[in-house]
Chain A
């Protein structure tokens, strides 16, 4: 029991980071129908963008904004110059996944070649510690959670209250019909990549702030929990991804505290397998069903 409550605390932080990342991942999937397995490596690239800004003397929170901007533009460019070309050629779904993995290999190893195989960390202090019951949070961890909450609220407002959000939802559900209704789906897709890239950048920096050091594989290592959270929630469902992130984050940290820290990802994997066996469309299943995830 003594271990449990602090573990839930850690779980909340992981869940916050995971929620930011998983919502970006799933939002982009719902609009573009591409499972972007390079997502984790884009996260790493963003973390390095923030690192460069940070090394140049910029405050870490402004570096985070830099990372978000970099992620947004980088994601959109990858789509414009790589993915979209293959989609236009009618590349099949599993063909696209090979493409995304090739991109992932390229990004990860270019980063390795440029930055060399060592560990990096930001010039940032974790700030004072705050005790909430037996949970302990540093100031920067509280900030990460606040950022996650704000990001989720913004996504909610975007999807439900704005014309753009409605256009995105329409494109996600039925692109052909959306086009017939006069929605410029190409622009909507660009915007989806921009938003997902920005969330990816924020998540990338948040991961590093939480774990203190990073290397060229940090983001890729985070990909499994992201996928698990997205699939658990019903892939393509931003709200599902939030729920999924909360579940995976807390379950992973509790398992780490009670069993063995290195099995944190195994929990995510087990949840993924069980969901796929029992309910491949996830908890919230509208879009997953429309996209025929189960065959």
Chain B
């Protein structure tokens, strides 16, 4: 039981970190990153290969750049790798594309990343993935497995607090205000002299770093990672957490994490299998989809809406007017 609770706590903290990173990108800055799970995955893979030790002939798994770096370094490496990837992806995809177009590109990126990781077997051991990733400081601490779990939960909690303070700092600072302005009206923000592209890129990289760290902390705990752990729908669990909690509100995002990935998905994982193996999992995904739709319909600002500023702001997802445009809303025609 203690094992279960501590495991659940560790999952909770790690998911919170991930959700906070995505909330910074999506909720605060309005960047639609449907490939978020890829950055978590990159962080996880990086942390894995730099702590697994050098690959050798006859090893049961094959990977690039094996090393055995000491404790906090793999996590930083995971974050850094994800940040670098974010920079590359951001430079390519955060151009002035229509927002849904951009979202689609991200989704495709997520699909292809899984494909490449599964097929390039020399890179991170293909579809089987990496296993036996050492838990940090396990031998040095000399704790019993249960105590180690609690220690790890404490470590994850500590990192979560750091990430939260950092993200909350950004959200509340003048920078955060600029980001929200950019989200709500990009043209107005750039008309006021804000470098929109650079800001988006910066947020994208920071969010990517947080994703990488959360992936690294996760993989060092569960000790295994494979393409099956980061299929594209996983991003939508995080997104659902944000939409349920309240986009742009970090406290809301944390409550959303408690409710969706942890409360809902983890808790139902141990239901007895009815009908057949995999039925519950399929229904979980159906529920995630329904949850997203229902919240977008009934509470587009989530359970805990972002605190309104001095000006009443329009809902993030649905436009402000409840009046009925009789035709689909097309963007205004360009003025030549």
Contacts and interface: CB of A to CB of B under 8 A. Distances in A.
A64 B73 CA distance: 57
Nearest to B31: A94
A277 interface: yes
Q: Which secondary structure dominates where chain B touches chain A?
A: helix
Nearest to B235: A101
Nearest to B116: A266
Contacts of A186: 326-327
A266 B112 contact: yes
B202 interface: no
Contacts of A96: 100
A135 interface: no
How many of chain A's residues touch chain B, expressed as a range?
Answer: 35 or more
Contacts of A121: none
B283 A109 contact: yes
Contact of B286 (A106, A174, A227, A273): A106
Contacts of B318: 86, 89-92, 95
How many of chain B's residues touch chain A, expressed as a range?
Answer: 35 or more
B122 interface: no
A161 interface: no
A223 B331 CA distance: 25
A292 B331 contact: yes
Q: Which secondary structure dominates where chain A touches chain B?
A: helix
Contacts of A128: none
A37 interface: yes
A263 interface: yes
A92 B100 CA distance: 9
Interface string A73-102: 000000000100111111111111111011
A290 interface: yes
B233 interface: yes
B100 A35 contact: yes
Interface of B: 32, 34, 92-93, 95-105, 107-109, 111-112, 115-116, 118-119, 233, 236, 239, 243, 276, 278-279, 282-286, 288-290, 292-293, 296-297, 317-322, 324-331, 333-334
Given A94-B100, A276-B95, 7 more contacts: A105-B286, A113-B279, A179-B327, A265-B115, A269-B111, A291-B331, A294-B96
Closest A-B pairs by Cβ, 4 of them: A90-B319, A295-B96, A105-B289, A106-B289
